[in-house]
Amino acid sequence: MKRNLNYKPKLSRNISNRLLTLISGIFASIAVLPLVLVITYVLIKGGSLINLDLLILEPQPPGDDLENAGGIGNAIVGTFIMTGIASLISIPIGVGGGIYLSEYSKDGTFSRFIRFGTNVLSGVPSIISGVFVYAVIVVSKVIFGSMFSGIAGGIALSILMLPTVIKTTDEGLKLVPNDLRNASLGVGASMFTTIVYVTLPASFRSIATGVVLGLARAAGETAPLIFTALFSFYHITSFSDIFYEMSSLSVLIYNFALEPYEAQNELAWAASFVLVIILLGINIISRLISNLASEK
C-alpha cells in the first residue's frame, strides 16, 4: 500500500493552520507598529527642533512667539534632580529590603507579606502616589515649610521605584549560587561580610540593570509630579531651590501640549525627543550590558 504523505493544502486543518499563522503574523506586525510610528514621529518632529539654545534656556511664558519660545534647559535639569532624589531614597531602602527578603527571611508570614506588599505597591497607579505625597507632604508643609517642591516630586517618584528596586535585588540575589555563600560562611565570615563582600558583588550587574531600568521608568513619569513638584519656568540657582516648584521634561510636555500656541507645542515635541532619546538610550545600553554579561 502506497502512502500519500504529501502536504494537502486543501485539507481543512491545513487551511485553518495557514490562516491562524497569517493572523498571528499580522498581530505581531501591528504590535510593533506603534513603536515605529511614535519613534519616527518624535525623532523627526522633535529632532528637527533641537539646538543648543533650546537645550539650555528656560521656557518663556506661553505665547505665539515661535522665535523666542525659549528652551527646556531647566526641565532637563529638574528631571535629573528629581530622579536623583528618588534614587537616593529608593535604592538604599529597596536594596536593603531585597537583601532582607533574599538573604535573611525564611519564608515566614512576614516576608510573604512583604513580597505581597511589594507586588501590590508596584500595581498602585502612579497618580495615587502623587495624591498621597500631596496630602502628606505638600499640604502639611512638613519639609521646611515648603509646599510644591522638587523634594516632594522626588519622594513621589521614589514610591514608584521602591518595588522595582526590591524585586530586582531579591531576584538578583537569588541567582547567586548557594555554594558561594556557603564558601564564605564556611570560613567563618559573618552574614554581613558575606552579603557585602560576596553576595552583593556577585549579583551586582543584574541588580544594577534592574535598578537602572526602574530609574528610566521613573524619569518618564508625569502623574506623580503634576501636583507635587508642579512646574517652574526658571533654572535652579542654588541648592535651596529644591524646596520650591521644579520643572521636569514630562510635566513640561503635558503642560505645553495643552497650550493653544504652536510655540509651546513645539517645545513639547523637543522635550519628548530629549526624553525618548535618554530613556531608550538607557534601556538599550543596559540591555546590551546585561546580555554581554550573560553571554560570558
Partner 1 sequence: MTRSPENSHECDVSVSLQNVSISYGKIDAVRNVYCDIPKGKVTALIGPSGCGKSTVLRAINRMNDLIPDCSLKGRILFEGNDLYAPEVDPVEVRRRIGMVFQQPNPFPKSIYENIAFGARVNGYKGDMNELVEKSLRKAAVWEECKDKLNQSGYSLSGGQQQRLCIARTIAIEPDVILMDEPCSALDPISTLKIEETMHELKKSFTIIIVTHNMQQALRVSDMTAFYNAEAIDGTSGSKVGYLVEFGDTELIFKSPSEKATQDYISGRFG
Partner 2 sequence: MASNKDFLLRNRTRPEKIIDKGFKSLTVFMASMVAFVLISILLVVFFESTEAMARYGLKFLITSDWNPVTDQYGAFTAIYGTLITSLLSLVIAVPLGVGTAIFITENFIPESIKNIIGLMVELLAAIPSVVLGLWAVFVMEPFIRPFLSLLYKYLGWIPFLSTEPIGPGMAPAILILVVMILPIITSISRDSLNQVPFKLRQAAYGIGATRWTAIFNVILPAAISGITGGVLLALGRAMGETMAVTMIIGNSNNFSWSILSPGYTISAMLANQFGEADGSQVSSLMYAAFILMILTLIVNIFAQWIVKSLSLKY
Residues 4-23, interacting with partner 1 (CB under 8 A):
4-8, 13-14
Q: What does the per-residue mask of binding to partner 2 show for 23-42, with x meaning CB under 8 A?
A: xxx-xx-xxx-xxxxxx-xx
Q: Which of 73, 83, 221, 263 touches partner 2 by CB under 8 A? A: 221
- For partner 2, the closer of residues 92 and 201 by Cβ is 92
- In three-state form (DSSP H/G/I as H, E/B as E, the rest C), the secondary structure along 179-235 is HHHHHHHHCCCCHHHHHHHHHHHHCHHHHHHHHHHHHHHHHCCCCCCCCCCCCCCCC
**β-bridge mates for residue 59, sequence order:** 70
Interface region with partner 1, contact rule CB under 8 A, candidates 1-9, 61-69, 199-207, 222-230: 1-9
Q: For residues 91-120, which are near partner 1 according to CB under 8 A?
A: none
- For partner 2, the closer of residues 100 and 243 by Cβ is 100
Q: Which does 7 bind (CB under 5 to 8 A by kind): partner 2, partner 1, none?
A: partner 1
**β-bridge mates for residue 70, sequence order:** 59
- For partner 1, the closer of residues 17 and 29 by Cβ is 17
Minimum CB distance to partner 2, residue 27 (Å): 3
DSSP string across 131-198: HHHIIIIITTTTTTT--S-HHHHHHHHHHHHHHHHHHHHHHHHHTS-HHHHHHHHHTT--HHHIIIII
* Dihedral sign of CA atoms 74, 76, 78, 80 in order: negative
Longest Cα pair distance anywhere in the chain, in angstroms? 93
Q: For residues 71-110, which are near partner 2 according to CB under 8 A?
A: 92-97, 99-101, 103-105
- For partner 1, the closer of residues 2 and 296 by Cβ is 2
Q: Is 52 helix (H, G, I), strand (E, B) or coil?
A: helix
Helix axes 73-99, 204-219, angle to 10 degrees: 140
Q: Which does 231 bind (CB under 5 to 8 A by kind): partner 2, partner 1, none?
A: none
What are the φ and ψ backbone dihedral angles of 109, each rounded to 5 degrees? -60, -40
Minimum CB distance to partner 2, residue 238 (Å): 26
Contact 276, 42 (CB under 8 A): yes
Q: Which does 3 bind (CB under 5 to 8 A by kind): partner 1, partner 2, none?
A: partner 1
Q: Which three cell numbers stand for residue 45?
A: 518632529
Q: Which of 76, 81, 82, 226 touches partner 2 by CB under 8 A? A: 226
Please tell me what DSSP assigns to residue 59: B
What are the φ and ψ backbone dihedral angles of 66, each rounded to 5 degrees? -60, -35
> Does the protein bind partner 2 through residue 182 (CB under 8 A)?
no
Q: What does the per-residue mask of binding to partner 2 show for 228-267, with x meaning CB under 8 A?
A: --x-------------------x--xx--xx------x--
Helix axes 126-133, 150-174, angle to 10 degrees: 130
- For partner 1, the closer of residues 4 and 294 by Cβ is 4
Interface region with partner 2, contact rule CB under 8 A, candidates 2-10, 12-20, 177-185, 202-210: 12-20
Give the interface with partner 1 as residue ranges (CB under 8 A): 1-8, 13-14
